[in-house]
Structure 1
Amino acid sequence: MLCVLLAAGEGKRMAPLTATRPKVMLPVANRPMIEHLICAVRDAGIDTFIIVVGYREKEIRDYFGNGERWGVSIRYMVQRTQSGTGDALRSAKGLVKGRFLLMNGDMIVTADDIRNVCASPAPAVGVVKSENPEQFGVITETGGKVTGIYEKSTNPPGNLINAGIYLFDDDIFAEVDRLVPSPRGEYELTDALEPAITRNELHAVPLTSWCDIGAPWNLLEANEDALSDMVTDIRGEVEDGVTLKGAVVLAEGSVIRSGTYIEGPCMIGAGCTIGPHVYIRGKTVIGNDCHIGHASELKNSVIFPRTKIPHFTYIGDSVVGSGCNFGAGTKVANLRHDKEHVKVGGVSTGRKKFGAVIGDNVLFGINCSINVGASIGRDVRVGPNTVVSGMIANESVLGRN
């Protein structure tokens, strides 16, 4: 059996983080999210992959190559225009024979759940209960057989959703070839499942470990899950006077300077300098080659590589892109005064605490204030003493520089 991974899309809902990288290459625990998926599929016993690529495909190809480093074999097929999941699967036609696994590349699931799907009769779809079913394709089932799929209904008929993991025989390609564009102009894979639903042949396989990454704030949840069973692994330098509480991972070439206090779980990449006198609170992940300076505090945040957060800065419950530079004294708010769920661009995060989404290569002057729920595009320049709120477009210039 082989696995087809769909990784061609841009992931517009993940903007501004996907302005410079494909969605599946966004980091979870300092590794691309699709790397976690490839490893889980491998551990479930499948070592042959076809990855359907498109948007910024070179980054995926350069990182994974032929898969040898992971003990798998990878081939690539290109979806030139992102015309839906059915069209993406059609890109792999001719390379797939017999039974195969199909998965969206923007989720995380365990090897055990993958094994359970593979043990089902085909065709099968993984399903999971959701607190926000209106955001997904909702599935109804009776006796383990799917009776209907309802795409992003405002009044969903239940809370069981399509998790984006399928087991097919190669006869699915005949159904895909018969697809016509949906009302939104895409070839929908779920439309190709209707004949199997009508014949009462589509199996629903419950999952226990699924994590969807559809919006920037989902990266906080995905990283929290990834750190939940982490154990301490110190490979860098820890100076005298540092306090480590809970599980902390420190990669090679990094140093934690005296007076720093870290509450795990916390993961720090390679080539970082932390401190002196830094306070890092739990569920924080810091990428490679970052600097966190004197008297700064980080809480429950994901910091991408090569970002500099110098002295007297606070960042909480936020996602920060790569190559950013924070002026001294910059603060990110993470709680509304009315304690309601934070919204980003009018979309609820479902979180009472969320700070900001900050794209790559953003430069802040000193003493900036970033309001709760801000989204700051890539290559933005923010002058000293500037208050930043709302949605900021790529390459904007704010305040007096």
Structure 2
Amino acid sequence: MKPGWEESLHFSPERQGVCDGMQAVILAGGIGRRVFPLCRGRPKAMYRLLGKPLLHYVISSMKGVDEAVVVIGKNGERIREYFGNGEKYNVHLEYVQQKEPLGMANALLCAEKLLKEEFLLVNADDVVEQDAFANIIEHHKKSDADLILCYKEVEETEKFGILDLEDGRVKRIVEKPEKGKEPSNKAVISPYLLPRSILEYIRKVPLSDAQFEDSIQKFIEENLVEAVEYRGFFASFKYPWDLLTINKYLMKKHVKGQTIKSSSVSERAIITGNVVIEEGVKVLETAKLSGPCYIGRNSLIGDDALIRDFSSIDEHCEIGKNCEVKNSIIGRNCRIHGSYIGDSIIEENCDFGFGSVTANFRFDEAAIRVKIGNKKIDSGLRKLGVIMGSHSKVGINANIMPGVKVGPRAVVGPGVTLYEDLGEGERIYVDKKSFVRKTGPPDEPF
């Protein structure tokens, strides 16, 4: 094994070196309506990338934190079972249950009994580098501010809470301003450094989707609030396609060189670029892995298959002969036979029959729009394939158009060209065609 691969996925001693004793509150109780059809039956924070749950990478970025309260919600026991008391991660973890998904403010109230006088608030779906934590803690050590926010300069200001600053002091936060009306391009991101007294403001604000943001605004009006800039990587798992951005970042950070563990790789297979092949993998003759890419434990890459461009294939998958997988995330226990999978996200236990294709590009080259709830959302991507929930099946020679979502346990029948989303448990088939059968000389007309 190449030194550094496993180590890069676990915590290093330097994570503890900024401010011993800092507490974090990790919000992991959301139900993720916007990421449907993904994460049905599990928290968003447990979505696996490079063989690890997303929350693994969030915790690994928390430099200067040695204890955390994890607020869990529905199916949150999966988080507790995986991370335990945090001992193997060099951070002490405690858990509280948020019985109903009532937002960030309510989640903090659920954790009230465990909160220290000051703590960092962290979203379990936000991926940043260690500098985000180091910067805000260092600023806190030399500042008299009562609350400190972290911001990053962005282009799409309409998607964030935007800071209005004056001489380094936060005057207000404008939530998702109209284009041209934003006070700056400085977007508030996780983590937040909060005082325990923020709970008093939360209690004064009525329950709503914006209760946390409104509480922060009330606090700003009466206290000294400052903000510290962060210039590193940031992405939030708000929509399904955000996983492609996060996956690419993690591969660039962790998949370096070629790591081939105890696996069976044909001498005729071609492996180029940065590649990780976990234990028990079989790579058959003339298969090609063009990194960066990741192959999980006990998976099979068939003859003449091509895996390329930031593809992540989880454990126990079968990528059959003549398949091509490009810039896609494939969950555990998937079986794909003679298919093209491009710029797609496919959850665990899915099957693709021979000749199936996920289209990923429009003829007009426009950005692909995806239906979220009752609205079409611009993904900002010119290439985006299928977003597929777990335990779904695709028949032979089926085609799925760009940005289409297929719900869990759905079936796309043989020969179907799917233009619209398919709901959970739905099935779609082509009507039977009639055929004329006749015997006689081949030149005899019908």
Report how many residues are paired: 395
Q: Quick one: distance in 1 between partners of 2:111 and 2:139?
A: 22
What residue ranges of structure 1 are gaps of 5+ in the alignment? none
Offset, 1:339: 0.4
The correspondence of residues 91-240 of structure 1 with structure 2, limited to 5 A, is: 91-121=110-140, 122-155=146-179, 156-157=181-182, 158-181=184-207, 185-186=208-209, 188-199=211-222, 201-208=224-231, 209-229=233-253, 230-231=255-256, 232-235=258-261, 236-240=263-267
Q: Quick one: distance in 2 between partners of 1:290 and 1:111?
A: 33
**Contact 1:12–1:18 (8 Å) recurs in 2:** no
- From 412, 419, 425, the equivalent of 1:389 is 419
Q: Does 1:86 align with 2:116?
A: no
TM-score relative to the length of structure 2: 0.86
Instruction: Among all aligned residue pairs of Structure 1 and Structure 2, give the percentage whose two residues are the same amino acid.
Output: 30
- From 345, 349, 367, the equivalent of 2:379 is 349
Offset, 1:400: 5.3
**AA matched with 1:327:** G
**Contact 1:34–1:106 (8 Å) recurs in 2:** yes
**AA matched with 1:330:** S
Q: Quick one: distance in 2 between partners of 1:324 and 1:88?
A: 34
Aligned equivalent of 2:9: none
**AA matched with 1:9:** G
1:237-295 deviation digits (Å, cap 9, x = unpaired): 22111111110001111121110111111011111011111111111111111110000
**AA matched with 2:229:** P
- From 39, 59, 75, the equivalent of 1:56 is 75
**Contact 1:101–1:118 (8 Å) recurs in 2:** no
1:194-223 deviation digits (Å, cap 9, x = unpaired): 233224611111112222221111111101
**Contact 1:51–1:74 (8 Å) recurs in 2:** yes
Alpha-carbon spacing, 1:187–1:80, altered in 2? closer, same or farther (3 Å): farther
Offset, 1:323: 0.4
Q: Quick one: distance in 2 between partners of 1:115 and 1:8?
A: 25
**Contact 2:152–2:230 (8 Å) recurs in 1:** yes
- From 253, 269, 278, the equivalent of 2:305 is 278
- From 41, 55, 66, the equivalent of 1:34 is 55
**AA matched with 1:225:** Y
SS at match of 2:39: helix
Q: Quick one: distance in 1 between partners of 2:75 and 2:287?
A: 39
- From 392, 404, 416, the equivalent of 1:362 is 392
Select between 290-299 and 60-69 the one with higher mean Cα deviation: 60-69
Offset, 1:11: 1.1
**Contact 1:323–1:360 (8 Å) recurs in 2:** yes
Q: Quick one: distance in 2 between partners of 1:66 and 1:52?
A: 14
Q: Quick one: distance in 1 between partners of 2:126 and 2:265?
A: 34
**Contact 1:40–1:110 (8 Å) recurs in 2:** yes
What residue ranges of structure 2 are gaps of 5+ in the alignment? 1-21, 141-145, 432-446
**AA matched with 2:226:** H
**AA matched with 2:353:** G
SS at match of 1:391: coil
- From 303, 315, 324, the equivalent of 2:341 is 315
Aligned equivalent of 2:38: 17
1:104-130 deviation digits (Å, cap 9, x = unpaired): 110111112211112223411111122
Q: Does 1:245 align with 2:272?
A: yes
Q: Quick one: distance in 1 between partners of 2:125 and 2:169?
A: 25
Offset, 1:356: 1.2
Offset, 1:159: 2.4
Q: Quick one: distance in 2 between partners of 1:281 and 1:127?
A: 34
Q: Quick one: distance in 2 between partners of 1:26 and 1:150?
A: 31
1:9-45 deviation digits (Å, cap 9, x = unpaired): 011111110222211111233321111011111xx13
1:27-72 deviation digits (Å, cap 9, x = unpaired): 233321111011111xx13121100011221221221122122222
Offset, 1:324: 0.1
Q: Quick one: distance in 2 between partners of 1:318 and 1:254?
A: 22
Task: Give the ranges of 4+ consecutive aligned residues of structure 1 lying more than 3 Å apart after TM superposition.
Answer: none
**AA matched with 1:398:** I
SS at match of 1:176: helix
SS at match of 2:60: helix
Aligned equivalent of 1:264: 291
Q: Quick one: distance in 2 between partners of 1:395 and 1:130?
A: 39
**Contact 2:64–2:133 (8 Å) recurs in 1:** no
SS at match of 2:93: strand
Give the greater-gyration-radius structure (CA).
Answer: 2
Q: Quick one: distance in 2 between partners of 1:62 and 1:194?
A: 37
